[in-house]
A = this chain, B = another copy of it.
Amino acid sequence: MATQAPSFDESQIGDASAAPAFSPLYQQIKSLILQSLQAGHWKPGDLIPSEIELAARFRVSQGTVRKAIDELAAEHLVVRRQGRGTFVATHAEQHVQFRFLRLLPDHGDLGSEGPAQRSIIDCKRQRAPADVARTLGLRTGDAVLQVRRVLSFQGVPTILEDLWLPGSAFKGLTAERLASHQGAMYALFETEFGVRMVRADEKLRAVAADEQAAERLQVTPGAPLLSVERVAYTYQDAPMELRRGLYRTDTHHYRNSLS
């Protein structure tokens, strides 16, 4: 915050003073707010300071702060509520769930089938295989947590997935803790480990069920399944989760919007 802080040097128009940064003022403000989010200074669900206060704090106009927050809101990192203030976004809201769970029942509305039944099959610490280490930005052999679980809808097992998490960030995560938690996993990550997932990339494929998957999902071996490999990122595009899922798509489908 020292070198390129917009609070110093310039008189009116932000020229960002000296050497390092050379970006618009509002980008610098955005960056500063982002750092506060990342540092956990303001936690998910928290009310952040008002635009007027931030403007005073950073010595810029309210309009500049507004533009910075506009972008953060567009990226779903904060949520604006007229008359109330601006809040740090959280996975604890129903509405947010569907951004990361794209599997919907073929018939019926959003969430008409009620919440998924989660069952943890396994949760163990181990050394990271090479491919997992690479995508998580770790070294091969570093400690990782592997979780395997099944999600069922209306009693029908529909999703089988494996998760890999960096061991360092998720100390103390156990099958019991996962099982006792109602609701989305990312919400637990926020409240228990201060890790907020912000963005994810997925690669989808159609594959044939192997013996093990067929048994877990109660389909015949060789049945087509949707393979979903996800890398989820926290602030600053730091990868924090690798997830490999197999979805039954006989009564559900994966929805996507292109725009």
Contacts and interface: CB of A to CB of B under 8 A. Distances in A.
Interface of A: 74-76, 99-100, 102, 198-208, 222-227, 230, 247, 249, 253-259
Contacts of A253: 203-205
A258 B202 contact: yes
Contacts of A208: 223-224
A27 to B, nearest CB: 15
Closest CB pairs A-B (n = 6): A206-B206, A206-B224, A205-B249, A224-B224, A204-B254, A206-B226
A256 B204 contact: yes
A208 to B, nearest CB: 5
A199 B255 contact: no
A247 B102 CA distance: 19
Given A222-B222, A224-B225, A225-B224, A256 B201 contact: yes
A201 B258 CA distance: 6
The listed residue with most B CB atoms (<10 A of its CB), out of A102, A199, A205, is A205
A201 B257 contact: yes
A203 to B, nearest CB: 4
A251 B125 CA distance: 32
A75 B259 CA distance: 7
Contacts of A76: 259
Contact of A258 (B199, B207, B227, B259): B199
Given A102-B258, A207-B224, A224-B225, 20 more contacts: A74-B74, A75-B259, A76-B259, A99-B258, A99-B259, A199-B258, A200-B259, A201-B256, A202-B257, A202-B258, A203-B254, A203-B255, A204-B226, A204-B249, A204-B255, A204-B256, A206-B224, A206-B226, A208-B224, A224-B224
A93 to B, nearest CB: 16
Nearest to A233: B259
A91 to B, nearest CB: 12
Nearest to A249: B205
A259 B199 CA distance: 5
Nearest to A75: B259
A206 to B, nearest CB: 4
Contacts of A102: 256, 258
Contacts of A200: 257-259
